[in-house]
Amino acid sequence: MGPARRFSAVSNTSETIQATETMSRRKVILLAVICALIVLSAASAAVARTRDRGPQVRTETVTRRDLVSTVTASGYIQPRLKVDISADISGRVTDLYVEEGQWVEQGTVLLRIDRRSYEAAVNRAAASVAQARAQAAQARANLLRAQSELNRAEQLAPQNLISPSDLEQARTQLMVTQAQMEATEHGVAQADASLSEANDQLRKTTISAPMSGHVVRLNIEVGETAIVGTMNNAGSLLLTIADLSEMEARVRVGETDIPDITLGDSALVRVDAYPGQTFAGKVTRIANSAVNAPAASSQTAQAIDFEVVVTVSQPPKDLRPDLTATADIITDQREQAISVPIIAVTVRDGEGRRLDAVASDVPPDDGASEVEGVFVLDNGTAVWTPVRVGIVSDWYFEVVSGLSGGETVISGPYTAVRDLVGGETVRTAVEPATTK
C-alpha cells in the first residue's frame, strides 16, 4: 500500500472517532436534560400536592382540667412595721450605743448628740424666766400702789382736798399699771415657753428606740454630725428599727391587672435569695393611687403601676429587708373546667373571616365585629367555632360556652392559626402538642 492510501485510511479512521465522540456527548446532554425535567416535574407535583393538602398544624383534644389564674408582679421584701429615725436637732454624735443587726427594746437609748449648747440654751431660758417673774413682781407692786393712791384720791375728792385732775390722774395711773402688769404676765408666759422649748431641745439630744425590734440600718457613727431630717435628704436618716417577725412583699402591679386583685387573695412569694423555695402569703393592701402617676405636663404615655402588699405567712427568721421578690397572686380558680390552649384562641369577624380581609365599608353590625373562637378539626378541615372564654391560666383558657369537650382543636403554630380561614384543609403534625 502506497503512502497516499495509508494516509487516507488514517484520516477516515480519525473522522469516524470524532463523529462517535460527538454523538456520545449529545446523548449525555440529552439524558441530563431528560433527568432534570423529571426532577422538576416531580418537585412541582410534590409542591402541588402539598398545596392541595394545606398548612401543617398541631392539634390538641379539648379536655377538663383545674385552672388557676394568677397575676405575677415583682418587688421587694419589707418589714410590716419599721421606723426610720432621724434627728430633730443638729449636732455632733458623742455616744452610740447600738450596732447594726442588734435587737433593742422600746425605750432603749440609741445615741446621744452633743448637749452643751442646748444646756446653755436652757440656762439662758431659765434666767429669762427669773427676770420676767421679777418684772411681774415689780409690776404687781406698782399696781397695788396705784390702786391705793386711787382709793385715797377718791376719799379726798368729796372733801375738795384734791383737784378733779389729780383724781383723774390717779385713775389713769391705775390703768397704766394694770396694763404693765398684764404685759409682764405675758412676758413670764413667753419666758416659760422658751424654757420649755429649750428643755425639749435638750431632751432631743438623747434618742431612744420608739419600738422593739432589730436595728436593720445604721447610717451614723460617733463624731459625725446629725442634721435635721428632711424628706429629700437621705443623709438625715440615722438608723432604722424594724420588726422582722412580720414581713411583706411590696410589688408593683400594672393597671390592667389591678381590677382582678382583691384583698385576701392568696399568693405565692418567691425570693431570689432563696432559690427553689416559695412562701405562702395574702394580699393585705392595694394602693389607691399609682406609684408613678404621670405628670400633667407629660405628653408621652407611660406604664402605670400600683403597689400591692402581700403579707408573708411564717417568714424565715433570716429573711432580710430589701431582698428582691416575685409574687404570684391567685385571682381566680376553676376545677375541672373545659379548656383550650391559649394559642388556639384567635379573633375573627362574626362570619369567621379574618379581620384584615373584611372590607372597610362593612358596618360592625353586619358581621365585622370581633369574635373570639377556635378552629375545630373535622376530617382534615378547619371549622371556625366561636367560643366564650373565662379565666386564663399560664397555658389555657377556660371555655365557658362553644365547646363541650372531646373536640380536636388546632393549637399551633401561631402563624398557622393566625392565617387560617374556616373550611380550609390542613395537615396535622406527626407529633401532637404537649399537654401542659
DSSP one-letter string for 170-230: HHHHHHHHHHHHHHHHHHHHHHHHHHHHHHHHHHTTEEE-SSSEEEEEE---TTPEE-B-B
Sign for the CA dihedral angle at 124, 127, 133, 134 comes to negative
The residue type of 111 is L
Q: What amino acid is encoded at 264 in this protein?
A: G
- Provide the residue count of the chain: 436
Which amino acid, residue 138? Q
Q: Report pLDDT for 317.
A: 86
CA distance 204 to 118: 10
| SS3 labels along 371-435 | EEEEEEEECCEEEEEECEEEEECCCEEEEEECCCCCCEEEEECHHHHHHCCCCEECEECCCCCCC
How far is 271 from 269, CA to CA, in rounded Å?
A: 7
Return the domain boundaries, the chain. Answer: 57-65+335-428, 117-203
The answer to whether the beta carbons of residues 341 and 412 sit under 8 Å apart is yes
Q: How is residue 396 written as a grid cell? A: 389555657
Note the pLDDT of residue 234: 54
Q: Which amino acid is at 171?
A: R
Report pLDDT for 28. Answer: 55
Helical H segments across 62-163, by residue range: 116-156
Angle at 170 between CA 167 and CA 146, to 5 degrees: 145
User: 55 preceded by cis ω (within 30°)?
Assistant: no
Which SS3 state, helix, strand or coil, does residue 292 take?
coil
- Give Cα separations from 93 to 136, 179, 222 (angstroms): 40, 47, 5
Nearest CA to 390 among 403, 376, 375, 406?
403
Q: What is the pLDDT along the chain (436 residues), one digit of tens a residue?
A: 444 444 444 444 445 445 455 556 666 566 665 666 665 665 555 444 544 567 889 999 999 999 999 999 999 999 999 999 989 899 999 999 999 999 999 999 999 999 999 999 999 999 999 999 999 999 999 889 888 888 888 888 788 878 888 888 888 988 999 999 999 999 999 999 999 999 999 999 999 999 999 999 999 999 999 988 665 555 578 999 999 999 999 999 999 999 999 999 999 999 999 998 999 999 999 999 998 776 655 556 677 899 999 999 989 888 989 999 999 999 999 999 999 999 999 998 877 777 775 544 455 444 457 889 999 999 989 999 999 999 999 899 999 999 999 999 999 898 888 888 888 899 886 554 444 5
- The predicted pLDDT at position 160 comes to 80
DSSP 118: H
* Cβ atoms 215, 241 nearer than 8 A: yes
The SS3 of residue 313 is coil
Q: Which of 61, 65, 62, 63 is nearest to 334 (CA)?
A: 65
Residues whose CB is less than 8 angstroms from the CB of residue 350 and which lie 6 or more positions away in sequence, other chains included = 367, 368, 369, 371
Which of 417, 331, 318 lies closest to 374 in space, CA to CA? 417
**DSSP letter (8 states) at residue 233:** B
Q: What are 235's three cell numbers? A: 443623709
Q: Please state, in angstroms and rounded to a whole number, the distance separating the CA atoms of residues 70 and 302.
A: 24
Burial category of 178 from C-beta neighbours within 10 Å (exposed 0-12, middle 13-18, buried 19 and up): middle
Determine the pLDDT at residue 196: 95
pLDDT confidence of residue 24: 61
Domain covering 57-65+335-428 assigned CATH 3.40.50.300 in the classification: no
Q: Are 369 and 349 in contact (CB under 8 A)?
A: yes
How far are the Cα atoms of 62, 217, 251, 282, 284 from residue 266, in angstroms, in the given order? 29, 31, 14, 5, 10
Rounded Cα gap, residues 178 and 184, in angstroms: 10
pTM: 0.65
- How many of the other CB atoms lie within 10 Å of CB of 124? 13
Number of helices followed by number of strands (H, E) in the chain? 4, 21
Considering only CA atoms, give the Rg of the chain: 48
Specify the DSSP element, H or E, that contains 238: strand 237-254
CA distance 245 to 149: 76
